[in-house]
Each structure stands twice: as structure tokens, then as C-alpha cells.
Amino acid sequence: MTAFVMAKQIWKTCPILIIKLTAAPPNGFYLMFMRSKFIPLTAVMLLAATLSFHITARAAVVPSAFVESLTYSAFETLRDPAISEKERFSKFRALLSDHVDMPRIGRFVLGANWKRADAAQQAEYQKLFHNYVISAYAGRLKDYTEAKISIKDTVSTGKGEHIVSTLITHPKNPEPVHVDWRLRENAGELQVLDMSIEGISMALTQRSEFASIIQQNNGDINALLTRLRSSAGAISDGKQVSITK
């Protein structure tokens, strides 16, 4: 997944190295090698160094690189004209399962009602929630597949959590959108915990919606499940999942 990011980094770094080498003030030692194979050799060595740095960096999972590669894969999946809607759906699902902490988010979004639900309800809810997120976010993100993401900074909040601030610029939109990614290390792997768009936490918003549905039905968790089931039905009918425009 990070192959793209690595390739991009190398591509970015490579010309700079060459410029640095060739623009260095000429001294005797340097001049000796000026016409030899020194420059290409050094360039290759430095390139190798950069590469190995990126490989080690990947092993330790750099939060910003994680966000870059995840958004790249997500946008790529959503816009790829070569795959069928069904494939798109399952690729997007796989991305979410691998890189988003869906079980924890699901529990959070159900809030206090999670503890009130019985085991069967919890299990069904998690399944329905997963499907709901796929359809909702495929739709919400589809207009952004041509967008460029730039990393502003990363703050580590301790407890293995990081907030990566990004600006998403869309050719259609004059103003960039500020998105914060809250990541958590789970068993050495980074996973998305929440996404804040202009300070609006998607998890909190979702929680508010679900709480409201349950409250309106006098605390009946099944009411929410029914609602989610009907939107899941719409997904499998292909009504809501036409991800591409």
C-alpha cells in the first residue's frame, strides 16, 4: 500500500539530490570525481539510503504516510473505471476492514445503548453498521476522488494515538477542506478511529443520529437495526451503492 507513497517520495527526492551534488562548491577533491562515475554512484547510494529509510519507516508505520496511502487507495477504488460496482464495493469494504477500527467505532457510535443490547443485537448491529458506513462514505467521498491531499502536521496524543491534520484540495472547490485523522496503533498496525471534517467528528455525528433514532422509539434498539437493515437492503439492491456518478 505504501508503495505509491515510497515511489512518490523517491521521485521527489531524486532530482534534489542531483541538484545538490552538482551545485556543490567545486573543490579539488570534488573536481577529481566530477567527470567520473562518482555522481551517479553517490546518487544511487543515496537513493538506496532513502529507500531503506522508507522501508524502515514503513515498518514503524508513519502516521502521515498511512493517511496518504489510505486516501490514495480509497480514491483509486472509488474512481477506477475498470472494475465493476460489485468489485468496487468489496474492495472498499476490504479497505475499511483492514485500516479502520470498525468494531471500536461501532461500539462508540451506539454509545450507552451498546451495553443495553444483547449479544445477538450487538453482532447484528456491527454487521449492519459496517455496511452502512460503506454505502454512506462511498457516497460522501465520491465527489472527492480527484482531490489532492496534503499533510499539515501530526500530533501524537500518547496512548498510541496520533492526529494527522490534512488539507484536501479539490479542483472544483476554491477553499481547501481541513480534515483531521485520528489514528490508533492496534497490535502494531495503525487504524483510523475517527475523521474530523472542519472540526466535525464523523463518529460523534453518527452517534447522535443513532441515539436519536433509538430515543424516538422509546429506547428500542431494534428500531435502529430495522432502519439500518432497510438501508443495507438498498445497498444489496445496488440502489445506493452506485458509487461512481
Binding interface with another protein (CB under 8 A): 104-105, 107-108, 132, 135-136, 139-140, 143, 155, 157, 163, 165, 174, 178, 180, 182, 184, 193-194, 196, 198-201, 203-205, 207-213, 216, 224, 227-228, 231, 240
| Contact (CB, 8 A) for 100 and 191 | yes
| Whole-angstrom distance, CA of residue 204 vs CA of residue 188 | 26
CA–chain centroid gap for 107, Å, is: 20
| Whole-angstrom distance, CA of residue 175 vs CA of residue 99 | 28
Half-sphere exposure of 118 (CA within 13 A, CB side): 3
Q: Measured from the CB atom, is 22 or 173 closer to another protein? A: 173
Q: How far is the CB of 114 from another protein (least distance, A)?
A: 10
21-30 contacts, C-beta under 8 A, 24 or more apart: none
Q: How far is the CB of 105 from another protein (least distance, A)?
A: 7
Nearest to 183 by CA among 204, 210, 155: 155
Q: Measured from the CB atom, is 2 or 240 closer to another protein? A: 240
Q: Measured from the CB atom, is 54 or 162 closer to another protein? A: 162
List 189's β-bridge partners, or say none.
Answer: 186
Secondary structure element (H or E) that encloses residue 88, with its range: helix 85-99
Q: How far is the CB of 31 from another protein (least distance, A)?
A: 42
Q: How far is the CB of 208 from another protein (least distance, A)?
A: 4
| E-strand stretches of the chain | 148-158, 161-169, 177-186, 189-197, 200-201
Q: How far is the CB of 73 from another protein (least distance, A)?
A: 21
Q: Measured from the CB atom, is 10 or 223 closer to another protein? A: 223
Q: Measured from the CB atom, is 75 or 210 closer to another protein? A: 210
